[in-house]
Amino acid sequence: MNLNKQLQPDCIYHIYNRGINGESIFIEERNYTFFLQKYAEYLSPVVDTFAYCMLGNHFHLLVRIKPQEKLKSINLMSKNTENNEIGLHSADFIVSKQFAKFFSSYTQSFNKAYSRTGSLFDTPFKRIEIQHNSYFTRLIWYIHFNPEKHGFVADFRDYPHSSYHSHLLKKKTNLKRDEVISWFGNEEEYQRFHVDNHFDKELTSMVIEM
């Protein structure tokens, strides 16, 4: 399993990162809100987000890299407009650079708030490409189930820092809510799948552990 595989346009990835040496990256409620704000600022332009979960010392994401032409048009990295897709114009470079800016911005604020210095996140962040549609629903369940798995709550549905409830709300969101619900069929099936599903061996190849 290659956890450092280059990111490709239009591909879906399970992305994970944690605090360096297992340090906490979320200490109080405002950290979660700030994390999502910075995520929207730096990463929403380059990825579509399907699901997330933030837990103490790590987080999980399910994202799709935007198309190559979209990444180029954003012009985040360089004013050079040559029509090549390697180096500075590769999806891996552009998206990874945005993740680096995201981590740096969050780290600077976190360090200032808690009087610490140095890196906060492991590098590089880990990723697994999801190539089979059959894994989408189970991986979303796995991401949402993590708080229960790690003992944060007795029932994952009670955990406030995942996308589980965001998929069921009607208010505006940056999540690809409609696409996610369509994978399950409808909202009722989405909820039923989350309650009825159990971890299976086939999913282990798509899971990034701490």
Residues 11-31: tens digit of each pLDDT: 999 999 999 999 999 999 999
Cα 121 to the center of its chain, rounded Å: 14
Confidence tier at 37 by pLDDT (50, 70, 90): very high
For 64, the enclosing helix (H) or strand (E) is strand 58-65
In terms of Cβ atoms closer than 10 Å to its own Cβ (0-12, 13-18, 19+), residue 125 is buried
Listed range (10-14, 84-88, 150-154) with the worst mean pLDDT: 84-88
Kindly report which listed range (102-106, 130-134, 203-207) carries the lowest average pLDDT score: 203-207
Phi, psi of 9 (to 5 degrees): -60, 145
Amino acid 201: pLDDT: 54
Instruction: Convert the pLDDT of each residue in 155-181 to its tens digit.
Output: 999 999 999 999 999 888 999 999 999
What's the pLDDT band for 1 if we cut at 50, 70, 90? low
Q: Which of 11, 43, 44 is nearest to 174 (CA)?
A: 44
In tens, the pLDDT along 182-193 reads 999 999 999 999
Percent of the chain with pLDDT over 70: 86
Q: What value does the CA radius of gyration of the chain take, rounded to a whole number of Å?
A: 17
Tell me what pLDDT residue 23 has: 95
Catalogue all structural domains in the chain, each as residue range(s) with its CATH number.
12-206 (3.30.70.1290)
